Amino acid sequence: MTQTDPRRLIPRTDALLALPDVAGARKRLGDTAIRAVVRAVQDRARRGELAPDAVAAAVVAAVSAARPTSLRPVLNATGIVVHTNLGRAPLSGPAVDALVAAGGYVDVELDLGAGVRSKRGVAARTALLDACPAAEDALIVNNGAAALVLATTALAAGREVVVSRGELIEIGAGFRLPDLIASTGARLREVGATNRTHLRDYADAIGPDTGCVLKVHPSNFRIEGFTSAVGLPELRELIAAQGVPLIADLGSGLLAPDPLLPDEPDAGTSLGAGADVVTFSGDKLLGGPQAGVALGRETAIARMARHPLARAVRADKLTLAALEATVRSASVPVTEALHADPAHLRARAEALAAAVGAEVVAHDGRVGGGGAPGVPLPGWAVRLPESAARRLRTGDPAVLPRVNDGACLVDLRCVPATDDGRVLAAVRAALAGGQDR
């Protein structure tokens, strides 16, 4: 580097760290994060992308924009209610308040009155039992897969898990149910065929080495045509005299029937039909945080709670707080979006379309998250040029539309009506941005 090299004029790190706006940022950002921002701006100047005299202002701007987390809030304009890529269920206001309250010290394992240690998650467990009277006991773990793994581990480790071949599903990110169960030390005993399984198939398989019978709801696909399956009541009657536990993995997490989703199993009905344990995710149709829930007979849940694996997959205080608040809430965003009035959705879409000179088209939303596959949620969307999609995704606020058949579709089903103004501003900015290069 020569004496005349302009890079010599780049401000020193200590000088940049001493800038009032940068020093003030230490109240919300750690020193390591601030130094990383400073180095990044200095590197831009060294590459010639930024003039040395613009470095200080760039550092101040970057530090002011930096946040403790890189996760960005997104307005979900896809029409998919439980969107896995967006974190599945958005939390209700009471659940968010509960998260904030649980961020400090809380009595998660303490009886304040007696001054002694108490059982973890008692309040969340009570809320679930109040909401699902068919359950005798409840256990909360960190996700749905963990609930199923713990159930098969505690009830059938080293023995056989009898399950229909048509229910050996693959869930998200390539995880397959057979692999999850095999990881518990249990052995799979597959019965029936992919499309048809009969009661006699289970009867022929069940014997002294049977640890449990597993019934899995194929929530992310449908098999139609020449099919047959065995329901929980028939399985319960078959194994009642043999003391074999019956586990039902529901996946999506309805506590009670929903007329909008008639083929989606719920916990209360499944327990009433004979399941000893039902497992499901907390962040799908229940509308809560990521969690795994097991509801069922007291003896079966107690075996799960006593197993050493239960400690490894237990839920933290934030999950317990948000789950309790979700179950006790009058309503949650997932339910509101599922049952949104199509006429109201159309009126909102028409107002947005009129403001930007676009058209409104019929658009079916979806449950998402592997729930109720093939069930349409009739609604409406604003049709924009496909080129607007990227600018909506990368704008502020970030808006995620659906791209289909050469168009960018903005569906307001999952967007709170209070955010319609923000969506309008984002759409206007996207349309004003011109064609992407």
pLDDT (tens digit per residue) in 384-431: 999 999 999 999 999 999 999 999 999 999 999 999 999 999 999 999
Amino acid at the residue 30: G
Rounded Cα distance between 389 and 399, Å, is: 9
For tokens 């008639």, name the residue: 262
Q: Is the pLDDT of residue 190 over 60?
A: yes
**What pTM was computed for the model?**
0.89
Mode of pairing for the β-strands spanning 380-385 and 407-410: antiparallel
pLDDT band at 343 (very low <50, low <70, confident <90, very high): very high
**What is the sign of the dihedral through the CA atoms of 32, 33, 34 and 39?**
positive
- Provide the token pair at 384: 């924009």
pLDDT digits (tens, 9 = 90+) for 127-150: 999 999 999 999 999 999 999 999
Q: Is the pLDDT of residue 435 over 50?
A: no
Please state which CATH class domain 74-84+336-432 belongs to. Answer: alpha beta
pLDDT of residue 221: 63
How confident is the model over 86-91, as a mean pLDDT?
A: 96
Strand partners, 191: 164
Task: Please give the angle made by the CA atoms of 122, 133 and 143, to the nearest 5 degrees.
Answer: 55
Mean pLDDT over the full length of the chain: 91
pLDDT digits (tens, 9 = 90+) for 263-299: 899 999 999 999 999 999 999 999 999 999 999 999 9
pLDDT of residue 28: 86
pLDDT band at 164 (very low <50, low <70, confident <90, very high): very high
Rounded Cα distance between 122 and 114, Å, is: 15
Q: In a 3-state reduction of DSSP, which class is residue 148?
A: helix
Question: Cα separations (Å) of 85 from 76, 82, 88, 370, 408?
Answer: 10, 9, 7, 12, 18
Buried-state track 424-437, b at ≥16 Cβ within 10 A, e below 16: bebbeebbeeeeee
- The dotted CATH code for 91-329 is 3.40.640.10
How confident is the model over 25-47, as a mean pLDDT?
A: 92
Rounded Cα distance between 408 and 390, Å, is: 9
For tokens 């839920």, name the residue: 315
- Higher pLDDT residue, 274 or 227? 274
Rounded Cα distance between 261 and 377, Å, is: 10
Q: Is the pLDDT of residue 168 over 90?
A: no
Rounded Cα distance between 253 and 267, Å, is: 7
